[in-house]
Amino acid sequence: MNQIKKLLIIGFVWPEPNSSAAGGRMMQLISIFAANGFKITFASPALDSDFMVDLALFGVEKRAIELNNSSFDDFVIELNPDVVLFDRFMIEEQFGWRVSENCPKAIRLLDTEDLHCLRTARQKAFKENRTFELYDLLSEEVAKREIASILRCDLSLIISDFEMKVLKNIFKIDSKLLFYLPFLVDEMNEKNLLDLPLFEDRENFVFIGNFLHEPNWNTVQYLKETIWPLIRKDFPEAVLQVYGAYPSQKVLQLHQPKNGFFIMGRAADANEIVKNARVVLAPIRFGAGLKGKLLEAIQCGTPSVTTEIGAEAMHADLPWNGFITNDIEVFAKQAVELYQNESLWKQSQKNGIAIVNKCYQKNEFAAVLIDEINALITDSENHRLHNFMGSLLQHHTLKSTKYMAKWIEAKNKN
């Protein structure tokens, strides 16, 4: 009889699938491992939140852990997981050395969410009003930390094929250390569209996104100051509803009903809101990874207008479910056209089905991931032998991070 394998996920935060794409991504990973018989424990140093998912409903044990505290060592030794999944590189920095020291045989996975160094470098270039170049990444401090984390792990889950290319071509990471895993959803067909609200039953433009995420806040400012006035000039009755978790006072101040610009706050059910909107607007100017809001729009049969950054790595070579442009005048015109032209809108819906079925098939990726992890469990020694840079970084990091953590722990006791 096969022994049940144990997975420990160390989360940066507790999953909030209704607040962010990152929370949705984490729940997709949990469902893959659960479906393949893993016993899952989810641990995090984060405080509980009002909107976190009830992990017990998914058969996942929840454990609170502390940063810079050797109590984690006792916990991980007792659990003795076969696989440890770090949620973002900052968590690997904090806990990776402890896992390596106390459970050396455990397979170490990193879910990057998106490449933080890519998002940071793009944001910096944007704020400095210059064109981002890929080689900007080489001087980015976050890149040095994030790439070191990827090298220390046995396998990193990369959400975007553009980021796969960046890691291989710019940072020369061995492809054996990387696994391409986009968002994973169920197949769609045209019958699914019949269950969704019709063109004539939908109204308003919508934007949705977590405001703790800087690219989302920037997008809303851009919409308010630059794009929305152009749309209203062509279409004076237009209404835009902006939804998002954790809106600050700055966000709430943008609420301007007389101009059709509504800040709605947190969405009780994002799916319902997007399903009943006619068009999603997402003029995203910097960021990385895949945009969960745009995949959600496709699943809700809601066409979108976005930028090249917004649609990056999201649709292979297939036509978008709407329009992609960086030109603000074109963006506004296409948004109005998509809103008013029913046949164009319906064609865009169909384009979305093709994208989902080609790029995000759960069945296609999940089995391959589990096979890869099982192969690592069986042959981790050989895999690590061929990752000399990783073992070198593991050795030095273990020393430096270990003593820094022990110093902080000792200081905290005084």
The three-class DSSP label of residue 189 is coil
CATH number for domain 190-359, candidates 3.40.50.1820, 3.30.70.1380, 3.40.50.2000, 3.40.50.720: 3.40.50.2000
Residue 397 clears pLDDT 70, i.e. is over it: no
Which residues make up the CATH 3.40.50.2000 domain(s) of the chain?
Answer: 6-184+362-413, 190-359
Pairing of strands 155-158, 107-111: parallel
- pLDDT, tens digit, for every residue of 5-46? 999 999 999 999 888 888 999 999 999 999 999 999 999 999
What one-character-per-residue DSSP string does 347-399 give? HHHHHHHHHHHHH-BHHHHHHHHHHHHHHHHHSHHHHHHT-HHHHHHHHHHHH
Sole residue written with tokens 């036509």: 319
Do the Cβ atoms of 303 and 281 come closer than 8 Å?
Answer: no
Token duo for residue 238 = 């237009």
Residue 131 clears pLDDT 90, i.e. is over it: yes
Fold for domain 6-184+362-413? Rossmann fold (3.40.50)
- pLDDT, tens digit, for every residue of 216-263? 999 999 999 999 999 999 999 999 999 998 899 999 999 999 999 999
**Residue 9 has what pLDDT?**
98
Residues forming a β-bridge with 16: none
Strand residue runs (E) in 67-120: 83-87, 107-111
